[in-house]
Amino acid sequence: MPAKPLSIWHPFTQDALDPQPLHIERGEGVYLYTRDGRKLLDAISSWWVNLHGHAHPLIVEAIAEQARKLEHVIFAGFTHDAAEELGWRLRRILPQPLEHIFFSDDGSTAVEVALKMALQFWRNLGKQRKNKFVALEHAYHGDTVGAMSVGANSDFVAAFQELRFAVWRVPSAHCFRCPVGKRRATCDIDCAGPLARLLEERHDDIAAVIVEPLLQGAGGMIVHPVEFLERIRKLCTQYDVLLIADEVLTGFGRCGRMFACDLAGIVPDVMCLSKGLTGGFLPLAATLCTTSVRETFCSRDRSRTFFHGHSYTASPLGCAAAIASLKIFDSEPVFERIAVIEKIHGQRGPVLARHPAVADVRTIGTVMALELKTDDPGYFSELRPALYDFYLDKGVLLRPLGNVVYILPPYVITAEQLHCVYDVIAESLDRVPWLAAQRAGH
């Protein structure tokens, strides 16, 4: 045996500053149990993936059963029961026009697939010139190169600037910092003006507009009015540009309906799903598209084939987990649980909004975010590690995005547990100046 195991390199972690990772031995329901005997309430669904609680027995059993039957098979030239059944089940919940599914592995690959699909769609139609993308400011779509390109310019991507392809960026409906200086009560979604002008002038060059519908997650939990998404849909249709909805975070009930697009009553041309797709158990992703997109790829001309795939495409284990997760939507009162979370956000969010440390409260569905006042905003805010440590000490996993604290719980969280999370946040607010000062003194 070697003297030491490999040193494990953790994501988004600065070893020179951050504490050692916490060792989790097991999870159950909303709780994670550490090796040193502590119990943490997971208030962020473990990177926004978990829906029905950790180690939900139905999903555990479905994965085990699938593993006994077929753990993997190449998906080019082959198919299997789990993928077929998942296709049926997703068909029941997705907007009707999204009739085709392409599997991949995670949120970033779902986005890569969507971008490549959009580009090749226009190429297949002989419109090679339509090869540019439009993305929103504050966007986050993942860490692979295409996904990083359509993501916002930020410290996250600065080191990789040379790899990123050029993208046109337009304002997002960040009402708290309205990009066009309006107020929501009296505006006419004027922030969509730059997109309208860009599409009018350059639609012949544009393949697609990509958005995180209604909720920009990693960019700071920015909630958009539904009218903004409706307007984008109308503009894309008017100017013959594809609309890609990245529902990697928002899908499967996070925003209160199965998909955020449902809240705005719109259907995108392409939709990306991952995270909650398997209930948070296994990496699996899907990129959905309409028949008008799909049919341009079907031809006796092999060069029109969609040349994209991954070794684990449509992993039978992932598909089995996803089927089990969707069955839980039928067998357990999932949307009633979601309604309880929404109700508590509705009660407690406005109370926190009155706290002098709070600049803005944003809520949608199961997600509640507080932007805190600080001289040091942004992802690298010194408040972040101080708050993170404070919450962990109190037994709650909350991972602020800079000065934005948010709750995004598994749906099985009880009212009592959610109130506890709010109490811990309220306590942290009273101690924010203290926390910041303490950190600065380190």
Q: Which is nearer to ligand PLP, 210 or 424 (CB)?
A: 210
CB 62 within 8 A of CB 321: yes
Question: Which residues sit opposite 101 in a β-bridge?
Answer: 288
Contact assessment for residue 241 and residue 209, using Cβ atoms and an 8 Å cutoff? yes
Q: Which residue from 59, 249, 258, 383 is in contact with ligand PLP, where contact means CB under 6 A? A: 249
Q: Is 316 in the site for ligand PLP (CB under 6 A)?
A: no
Cβ(229)–Cβ(262) below 8 Å:
no
d(CA 141, CA 169): 14
What whole-number distance in Å separates Cα of residue 209 and Cα of residue 137? 12
Say how far apart CA 219 and CA 357 lie, in whole Å. Answer: 20
If one asks whether residue 408 binds ligand PLP (CB under 6 A), the answer comes out as no
The answer to whether residue 229 forms part of the interface with ligand PLP (CB under 6 A) is no
Q: Based on the shown chain and the rule CB under 6 A, indicate whether residue 226 belongs to the binding site for ligand PLP.
A: no
Site for ligand PLP contains 212 (CB under 6 A): yes
- Which part of the chain contacts ligand PLP (CB under 6 A), choosing from 241-249, 339-347, 382-390, 433-441? 241-249
Which of 244, 248, 277, 412 lies at the binding interface for ligand PLP (CB under 6 A)?
248
- Report DSSP letters for 151-199, one per residue: SPSSTTTGGGGGGPPP-EEE----GGG-TTS--TTT--SGGGHHHHHHH
Tokens of 376: 């040091």
29 in contact with ligand PLP (CB under 6 A) = no
DSSP three-state, residue 245:
strand
CB distance 176 to 362 below 8 Å = yes
Closer residue to ligand PLP, CB minimum distance, 193 or 309: 309
Site for ligand PLP in 124-143 (CB under 6 A): 140-142
Among 42, 75, 106, 214, binds ligand PLP (CB under 6 A): 106
User: Which of 29, 95, 217, 253 forms a contact with ligand PLP (CB under 6 A)?
Assistant: 217
Q: What residues contact residue 16 under an 8 Å CB cut-off, 6+ apart?
A: none
Is position 246 an interface residue for ligand PLP (rule: CB under 6 A)?
yes
One of 27, 29, 53, 107 touching ligand PLP (CB under 6 A): 107
Smallest separation, CB 23 to ligand PLP (Å): 22
Q: Which of 82, 152, 218, 429 is the binder for ligand PLP (CB under 6 A)?
A: 218
Q: How many residues bind ligand PLP (CB under 6 A)?
A: 14
**Footprint of ligand PLP (CB under 6 A):** 106-108, 111, 140-142, 212, 217-218, 246, 248-249, 274
